[in-house]
Amino acid sequence: MSDSLGIRAYDYVEFYVGSAKMVAYWYAKALGMTITGYSGPETGVRDRMSYYLVQNDLKIVVSSALQPDSYEITSFLTQHGDGVKRWSIEVDDVDQIFQHAMSRGAVAVRKPNRLENEHGHVTEAAIRLFDDTELVFINRDDYQHIFKPGYGGPVQDIQLSAEDPQLLGIDHIVGNVRENEMDQWAAYFNRTLDFETFVDFKKGDIGTQYSALLSKVVRSELSTIKNPINEPYEGAKKSQIEEYLEQYHGSGVQHIAIQTTDIVHTVTALRKNGMEFLLVPDTYYENLRNREDIQIKENIDDLQRLKILCDTDADGYLLQLFTKPIGDRPTFFFEFIQREGCKGFGKGNFQALFEAIELDQELRGNLDY
Ligand SMILES: [Fe+2]
């Protein structure tokens, strides 16, 4: 299924990391993903190494530089640390959507490019997003092999056992930008890809006694692509968005939310795999038990034990949980989300979430100006 611009769904996300091989083990072990593809010297690629990991519709690529002159990767890592270099949208026709975006003022990174080998072809193009991120359009309909040309099966015989968290795919991808940039980037999505702004958190909507942020969510015509964009807003102390911008040295992807239909199972499995989550105080669950507007099929004792958050809107509820930053810098993290009709992003949880993040910020020495 696709919309009038030919947009189908999220496809892969590619991270630039210090050591692709080791990070691939982390995804296999912590998220229970399968190492499905590999690209590197053994497949004829000399300057970089990539692993392609899959679980249902969740597709992650981790890449690292093999040579000091692989500037594109090494310069990214020097500045940002491990992070999301590009995320992609599967489309019907790469040329068509790229031309559309360009005619509306998108900044080109790569023109439509056809990668070919004996298994078929893959077409990709990319436009710029934030400081140093790419939004890729991809079509792999005519390719009958692993991921795309340049990839083969994994060369190592990697036998890992991990709990299967039953992750389904990407729900949304969030960007953090500087003060006064949020409106520009929301308008960029809306103008170049016919997205619309459907949530707008204004001054005073989101914040603790210390720090605050502004947030807009843009979405594609059929809502398959949903992208919140945050910017810091003045507060007594440094907000988590400012901490991100400082530590990432620029704007970029803050978190990716991954869908599940059974978050109690998912978080149980992820915790067994060693995933580290934000702490939620027990008072949160005392409040949850007292709320009459919350009708959920899950047992609140389970939610409390696993520290899962709950929020509602007119259409239903959602359950969600956030990891701590997965890398060395306090920048990128994952969210896991189960939607029961609710189309929101957990606004009712921002208070509890921010307070948990502020505790960690304080430990890192990044809360005070
Ligand atoms: Fe989120």
Pairing mode, if any, of strands 120-129 and 196-201? unpaired
In which element (H, E) is residue 186 found?
helix 182-193
- 351: pLDDT strictly greater than 80: no
Distance CA 39, CA 354 (A): 39
- Lookup: tokens for 210: 């210390």
- Considering only residues 256 and 289, tell me which one the structure prediction assigns the higher pLDDT: 256
- 207: pLDDT strictly greater than 80: no
pLDDT for position 10 = 98
Ligand 1 centroid vs 255 CA: distance in angstroms?
Answer: 7
Tens-digit pLDDT profile for residues 1-17: 999 999 999 999 999 99
- Residue 239 — pLDDT band, cuts 50, 70, 90? confident
Ligand 1 centroid vs 241 CA: distance in angstroms?
Answer: 14
- Residue 197 — pLDDT band, cuts 50, 70, 90? very high
Ligand 1 centroid vs 163 CA: distance in angstroms?
Answer: 24
pLDDT for position 212 = 82
Ligand 1 centroid vs 14 CA: distance in angstroms?
Answer: 18
Distance CA 148, CA 161 (A): 27
Around Cβ 274, how many Cβ atoms within 10 Å? 11
Percent of residues, the chain, with pLDDT higher than 70: 100
Q: 245-254, 283-292, 299-308: which has the minimum mean pLDDT?
A: 283-292
Ligand 1 centroid vs 48 CA: distance in angstroms?
Answer: 31
Distance CA 66, CA 150 (A): 16
pLDDT for position 236 = 79
CB 361 within 8 A of CB 243: yes
Tens-digit pLDDT profile for residues 76-129: 999 999 999 999 999 999 999 999 999 999 999 999 999 999 999 999 999 999
pLDDT for position 291 = 83
pLDDT for position 69 = 85
pLDDT for position 262 = 98
- Residue 324 — pLDDT band, cuts 50, 70, 90? very high
- 294: pLDDT strictly greater than 90: no
- 360: pLDDT strictly greater than 90: no
Ligand 1 centroid vs 257 CA: distance in angstroms?
Answer: 5
Distance CA 270, CA 275 (A): 5
Percent of residues, the chain, with pLDDT higher than 90: 78
Distance CA 16, CA 51 (A): 11
CB 112 within 8 A of CB 123: yes
Q: What does DSSP assign to residue 174?
A: E
The whole-chain average pLDDT of the chain stands at 94
In which element (H, E) is residue 316 found?
strand 316-322
Q: 59-68, 156-165, 272-281, 332-341: which has the minimum mean pLDDT?
A: 156-165
Ligand 1 centroid vs 198 CA: distance in angstroms?
Answer: 15
- 172: pLDDT strictly greater than 90: yes
Ligand 1 centroid vs 205 CA: distance in angstroms?
Answer: 16
Distance CA 78, CA 319 (A): 36
- Residue 150 — pLDDT band, cuts 50, 70, 90? very high
Residue 53, φ and ψ in degrees, nearest 5: -115, 140
Taking residues 14-36, report their average pLDDT: 96
Ligand 1 centroid vs 171 CA: distance in angstroms?
Answer: 8
Ligand 1 centroid vs 100 CA: distance in angstroms?
Answer: 28
- 361: pLDDT strictly greater than 80: yes
